[in-house]
């Protein structure tokens, strides 16, 4: 009996030690989840910001988050840092699902040393980036940080370098999305800049290399944080941000929506989205949308919404270079990237910013197997010293290059103008466009009639003494040019386009073209890498 009593006492003792350890774990986890403590969480809320964990809770499917490295601590012993070792340090990392799809995440925790980057923090971030690449899953990073952890000196800078290198290696392998939910300054801005998409939150986030005080001392300019590097500035002026969210909730929802249009990795295609929208749906609006006057605008958004599934178009870079529209949509359930000139803004002309914007989008789509549908109405490139001095040549070449090297299915529809170099740039046949259509209203030519008549007959017209006769000759020559060139049939006769289609039938023709290109295989010549004009 005595033996049994001793045995049970031992069991009881073992269990209570185990229970104690479990309780200690639970307690330690709870403390880690508080990051820098309740006071700092309250301060974060007072600024109208959520905490790292609250953001992840909104982003990920309920109950799907598995945290990594919750107990990782910094190793710094400078400036009193040895006295405090918060578990997890200043970033929450792990994996979870969004709409059932596997993703890796990290969210910088401003409540711990202002989310500043320590070497251990960078190791946590690098770990999820490495795992994302191994597993072929997207990475979403939520930034809210005071930059390099000052107490760690060069170790922190090295940490940034390690992250940048991972961002570069992961580029084109898995989608990388950056959300800027607070400060992001100095060299820290380069991680988002290396990723595929950057979203900023209006009024509570900013990105700049040097802050307002340094700007003032160096250039004398008076500018506040929002004016220098706020969401609106980067979404509309610099193009650094693809999206400007109204608030954090809107930002998280936008990230989720973006993810729903893109594939897991470069070996997969975009998720198929079943639709009840009839594949052969015709819309008479398209037969009437092109104005009689070629100098009059119409709204390309109307065309896009009319032809895509369920009118659903998810625009990227909405407020930047509005003369070109880029974004995601579906045709018969298949995900595509749309690039379209917008005649309503600057007559849809191509310029430096429009070229940069569209080139980057085309390259993303090509890297991730997303077919491209291009809607063309472009009068040419914007002339002027501002454009030439700003290297419109190199920047225009980016778009040309992006289309020319893209091997995904490429379907092009020319609605109206396609003049000169701009015609070639916008996914023409010679840049390996797969199926190129034109509406009967298309004008595929070297230039518009007015310009052509000036070059070809300017002297002859001037030689006429009578102004009325001058006008007569000009009109005759214009009519001759328009008859010959301002139509799609020159291109169609030469096989530069596959067909001239009825506008209202565009949806069906695009869907059928995409279906026929499903099995497309095209390789680039072997090379170490290309030398894209930069
Ligand atoms: C260590 C930092 C920190 C940093 C903030 N903190 N930034 N700790 N290193 N870089 C700490 C603060 O000491 C404070 O700690 C807490 O975070 C919150 O900061 P506050 O200043 O109280 O918050 P707020 O008023 O909201 O101001 C936020 C801020 C400001 C604008 C980000 O903290 C700031 O200017 N920080 C320094 C920014 C900076 O110069 N970073 C280096 C950039 S150079 P307590 O304990 O009081 O809560 C760089 C190089 C990268 O990043 C190069 C990559 C190649």
At 186 the pLDDT is 86
415 band by pLDDT with thresholds 50, 70 and 90? very high
Q: Cα 52 vs. chain centroid, distance in angstroms?
A: 23
The answer as to whether 266 is a domain residue is no
Collect all residues with Cβ–Cβ distance below 8 Å to 103 and sequence separation of at least 6. Answer: 60, 95, 96, 97, 132, 137, 138, 139, 140, 259
Evaluate whether 290 touches 441 at the Cβ level (below 8 Å): yes
Specify the 3-state DSSP secondary structure of 527. coil
**In this predicted structure, which of 39-53, 351-365, 412-426, 479-493 has the lowest mean pLDDT?**
479-493
Evaluate whether 177 touches 141 at the Cβ level (below 8 Å): yes
Q: What is the CA(116)–ligand 1 centre distance, in A?
A: 6
* Mean pLDDT for the stretch of residues 126-147: 97
At 398 the pLDDT is 98
For 100-134, give one letter per residue: b (16+ CB within 10 A) or e: eeebbbbbbbbbbbbbbbbbbbbbbbbbbbebbbe
* Atom nearest to 114 CA in ligand 1: 17
Q: How many domains does the chain have?
A: 3
**In this predicted structure, which of 265-269, 293-297, 312-316 has the lowest mean pLDDT?**
293-297
The answer as to whether 103 is a domain residue is yes
In 406-486, where does DSSP find H-type helix?
420-425, 449-463, 467-484
Residue 300 sits in the same domain as residue 193: no
* Mean pLDDT for the stretch of residues 157-162: 97
For residue 197, pLDDT over 70 is answered with yes
Mean pLDDT for the chain?
95
Residue 221 sits in the same domain as residue 357: no
455 band by pLDDT with thresholds 50, 70 and 90? very high
The answer as to whether 15 is a domain residue is yes
Protein residue with least CA distance to atom 51, ligand 1: 187
Is the CB of 122 inside a 6 Å radius of any atom of ligand 1? no
Q: What is the CA(148)–ligand 1 centre distance, in A?
A: 8
SS3 content of the chain, % helix, strand, coil (to 5): 45, 15, 35
For residue 13, pLDDT over 70 is answered with no
At 485 the pLDDT is 86
For residue 127, pLDDT over 60 is answered with yes
Residue 69 sits in the same domain as residue 131: yes
Q: What is the CA(114)–ligand 1 centre distance, in A?
A: 5
Report the CATH number at residue 195.
3.90.226.10
482 band by pLDDT with thresholds 50, 70 and 90? confident
Best residue among 108, 114, 204 to mutate for probing ligand 1, ranked by most atoms within 8 Å of CB: 114
- Give the span between the Cα atoms of 47 and 54, in whole angstroms: 15
Q: What is the CA(213)–ligand 1 centre distance, in A?
A: 15
At 448 the pLDDT is 85
Residue 230 sits in the same domain as residue 129: yes
For residue 237, pLDDT over 60 is answered with yes
Q: What is the CA(153)–ligand 1 centre distance, in A?
A: 13
Phi and psi at residue 193, to the nearest 5° = -65, -25
Is the CB of 58 inside a 6 Å radius of any atom of ligand 1? no
The answer as to whether 149 is a domain residue is yes
Tokens 């006492």 belong to: 9
Residue 309 sits in the same domain as residue 215: no
Residue 192 sits in the same domain as residue 294: no
At 14 the pLDDT is 63
Taking each helix axis from N to C terminus, what angle separates 467-484 and 449-463, rounded to the nearest 10 degrees? 140
* Atom nearest to 36 CA in ligand 1: 48
324 band by pLDDT with thresholds 50, 70 and 90? very high
At 9 the pLDDT is 59
Residue 102 sits in the same domain as residue 251: yes
For residue 5, pLDDT over 90 is answered with no
Is the CB of 160 inside a 6 Å radius of any atom of ligand 1? yes
Residue 47 sits in the same domain as residue 88: yes
Protein residue with least CA distance to atom 9, ligand 1: 149
Is the CB of 148 inside a 6 Å radius of any atom of ligand 1? yes
For residue 43, pLDDT over 70 is answered with yes
Is the CB of 206 inside a 6 Å radius of any atom of ligand 1? no
Residue 334: which domain range? 285-448+486-516
For residue 402, pLDDT over 90 is answered with yes
4 band by pLDDT with thresholds 50, 70 and 90? low
Residue 382 sits in the same domain as residue 430: yes
Protein residue with least CA distance to atom 18, ligand 1: 114
The answer as to whether 524 is a domain residue is no
Active site members:
186-187, 421-422
Element (DSSP H or E) covering residue 56: helix 52-59
Q: Cα 494 vs. chain centroid, distance in angstroms?
A: 36
Specify the 3-state DSSP secondary structure of 281. coil
Residue 252 sits in the same domain as residue 383: no
Evaluate whether 179 touches 220 at the Cβ level (below 8 Å): no
At 25 the pLDDT is 97
Residue 177 sits in the same domain as residue 45: yes
For residue 48, pLDDT over 60 is answered with yes
The answer as to whether 457 is a domain residue is no
**In this predicted structure, which of 10-24, 41-55, 203-217 has the lowest mean pLDDT?**
10-24
6 band by pLDDT with thresholds 50, 70 and 90? low
Protein residue with least CA distance to atom 44, ligand 1: 186
Residue 44 sits in the same domain as residue 23: no
The answer as to whether 463 is a domain residue is no
The answer as to whether 458 is a domain residue is no
Is the CB of 212 inside a 6 Å radius of any atom of ligand 1? no
């Amino acid at each position: 009996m005595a033996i049994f009593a001793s045995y049970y006492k031992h069991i009881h003792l073992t269990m209570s030690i185990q229970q104690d350890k479990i309780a200690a774990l639970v307690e330690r986890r709870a403390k880690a989840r508080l990051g820098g403590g309740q006071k700092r969480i309250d301060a974060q809320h007072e600024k109208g910001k959520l905490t790292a964990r609250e953001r992840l809770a909104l982003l990920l499917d309920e109950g799907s988050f598995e945290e990594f490295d919750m107990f990782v601590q910094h190793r710094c012993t400078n400036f009193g840092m040895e006295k405090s070792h918060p578990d997890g340090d200043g970033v929450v990392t792990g994996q979870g699902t969004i709409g059932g799809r596997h993703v890796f995440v990290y969210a910088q925790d401003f409540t711990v040393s202002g989310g500043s980057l320590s070497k251990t923090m960078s190791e946590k971030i690098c770990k999820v980036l490495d795992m994302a690449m191994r597993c072929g899953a997207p990475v979403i990073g939520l930034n809210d940080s005071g930059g390099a952890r000052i107490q760690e000196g060069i170790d922190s800078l090295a940490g940034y370098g390690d992250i940048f290198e991972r961002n570069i290696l992961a580029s084109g392998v898995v989608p990388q999305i950056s959300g800027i939910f607070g400060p992001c300054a100095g060299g820290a801005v380069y991680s988002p800049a290396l990723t595929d998409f950057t979203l900023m939150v209006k009024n509570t986030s900013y990105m700049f290399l040097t802050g307002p005080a340094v700007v003032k001392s160096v250039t004398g300019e008076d500018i506040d944080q929002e004016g220098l590097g706020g969401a609106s500035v980067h979404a509309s002026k610099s193009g650094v941000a693809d999206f400007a969210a109204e608030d954090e909730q809107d930002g998280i929802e936008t990230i989720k929506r973006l993810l729903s249009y893109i594939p897991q990795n470069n070996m997969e295609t975009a998720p198929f989205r079943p639709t009840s929208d009839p594949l052969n749906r015709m819309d008479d609006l398209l037969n009437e949308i092109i104005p009689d006057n070629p100098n009059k605008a119409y709204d390309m958004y109307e065309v896009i919404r009319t032809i895509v599934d369920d009118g659903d178009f998810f625009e990227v870079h909405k407020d930047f270079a509005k003369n070109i529209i880029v974004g995601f949509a579906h045709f018969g359930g298949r995900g595509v990237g749309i690039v379209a000139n917008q005649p309503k803004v600057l007559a849809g002309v191509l310029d430096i910013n429009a070229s940069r914007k569209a080139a980057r989008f085309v390259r993303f789509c090509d890297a991730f197997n997303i077919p491209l549908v291009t809607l063309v109405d472009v009068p040419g490139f914007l002339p002027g010293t501002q454009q030439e001095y700003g290297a419109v040549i190199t920047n225009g070449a980016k778009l040309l290059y992006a289309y020319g090297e893209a091997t995904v299915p490429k379907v092009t529809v020319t609605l109206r103008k396609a003049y000169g170099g701009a015609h070639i740039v916008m996914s023409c046949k010679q840049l390996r466009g797969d199926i190129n259509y034109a509406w009967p209203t298309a004008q595929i030519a070297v230039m518009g009639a007015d310009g052509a008549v000036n070059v070809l007959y300017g002297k002859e017209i001037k030689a006429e003494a009578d102004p009325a006769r001058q006008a007569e000759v000009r009109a005759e020559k214009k009519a001759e040019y328009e008859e010959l060139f301002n139509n799609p049939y020159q291109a169609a006769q030469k096989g530069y386009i596959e067909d001239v289609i009825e506008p209202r039938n565009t949806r069906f023709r695009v869907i059928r073209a995409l279906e026929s290109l499903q099995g497309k295989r095209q390789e680039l010549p072997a090379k170490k890498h290309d030398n894209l004009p930069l």
